[in-house]
A = this chain, B = another copy of it.
């Protein structure tokens, strides 16, 4: 029987646990391991879709929570769905809305059915359940959508984390039942905090439900990075090998390298764009803060090793001028560069795995200034 899944993962090569693959979606193929920039409100802040494509990004993430509040799922559906809405005909992924409900909204009630919260915009009372999250994501029409999970409180007691895991499993099943569009892949989300046993319990139950892919949630939320790397090393490669593995909300350049080494295929993070807006640049020479006075008379490019529009066309002195005068072009140009920096890094990772030299490449990378934490993420 042919695989009729909307999204299919193809493994091309392995090097240790690191995987080189392809994700085939209704809007095209994504080379993995892949970094997915975050277009929260159906736009990568300050960049056109053409500029986003120029960074080498093959898929973009949008946030269900923000879009369900404004303009609303039915409006985006009426305007042709997310791809048409944002004029991006390549793959799109939406999250479930859960993470933002817990981090941005005022929670009113939480129960087995779902959550009731007040919108952070106007205080409106809104109910978000597995069924509502899937309905909105069906309206949005992304290629890959996420099951609605419970993010356990941080730090949580073992009991709270265990309860969240079991509820996440029950909700995942309800999401499968609610999911009404066979052209959209549905990923289950593995929760369990830093508890390896709970993580295993969660992903085994989800694997039994046979999702189109598996996301790992609830990490990079304040724990030391080595704790995350260690935990992933203990279980990520035990996830079903024939499906993609997506580590949500991660991370720094070093995180990407360390987590690819544990067998992760997909990442998303606001770091390159958020840092870019704040004048922080990732470069091959290490992180830079472009407001710094030492760039004032610098005619050189932001990163001599980078091939992006920003680095080809503008001096550090000009970029500093844009930030000091509050010109939004600075944020756009630095976001564009930072995303390109991430995509160049992912391309290097993919090549190293293909050529069966990822372990050596990783050790060499960790000695470069580029592996340094940015001032914002340190």
Interface residues of A, Cβ cutoff 8 Å to B: 41-43, 45-50, 66, 70-71, 75, 78-80, 84-87, 296-297, 299, 309, 313-315, 317-318, 320-322, 324-325, 327-329, 331-333
Contact = CB atoms under 8 A, between A and B. Distances in A.
Given A41-B321, A321-B42, A313 B87 contact: yes
A85 B313 CA distance: 9
Contacts of A45: 327-329
30 contacts: A41-B321, A41-B325, A42-B318, A43-B322, A43-B329, A45-B327, A45-B329, A46-B46, A46-B328, A46-B332, A47-B329, A48-B332, A49-B313, A66-B325, A70-B324, A70-B325, A71-B320, A71-B321, A75-B317, A75-B321, A78-B299, A79-B297, A79-B299, A79-B317, A85-B315, A85-B317, A85-B318, A87-B313, A87-B314, A328-B332
A61 to B, nearest CB: 15
Contact of A48 (B43, B309, B325): B309
A39 to B, nearest CB: 10
A337 to B, nearest CB: 12
B41 A327 contact: yes
Contact of A70 (B49, B50, B66, B321): B321
A309 to B, nearest CB: 7
Contacts of A297: 75, 78-79
Contacts of A321: 41-42, 70-71, 75, 85
A335 B78 CA distance: 26
A46 B78 CA distance: 29
A136 to B, nearest CB: 15
Query: Which 6 pairs, one residue from A and one from B, show the smallest C-beta to C-beta distance?
Result: A87-B313, A79-B317, A43-B329, A41-B325, A71-B321, A46-B328
Contacts of A322: 43
A332 B45 CA distance: 11
A335 to B, nearest CB: 11
Nearest to A333: B48
Contacts of A71: 296, 317, 320-321, 324
Contacts of A49: 313
A378 to B, nearest CB: 27
A327 B43 contact: yes
Contacts of A50: 309
Nearest to A74: B297
A86 B318 contact: yes
B296 A75 contact: yes
Given A50-B309, A79-B297, 10 more contacts: A43-B322, A45-B329, A46-B329, A47-B329, A48-B329, A75-B321, A80-B299, A86-B318, A87-B314, A328-B332
Contacts of A87: 313-314, 318
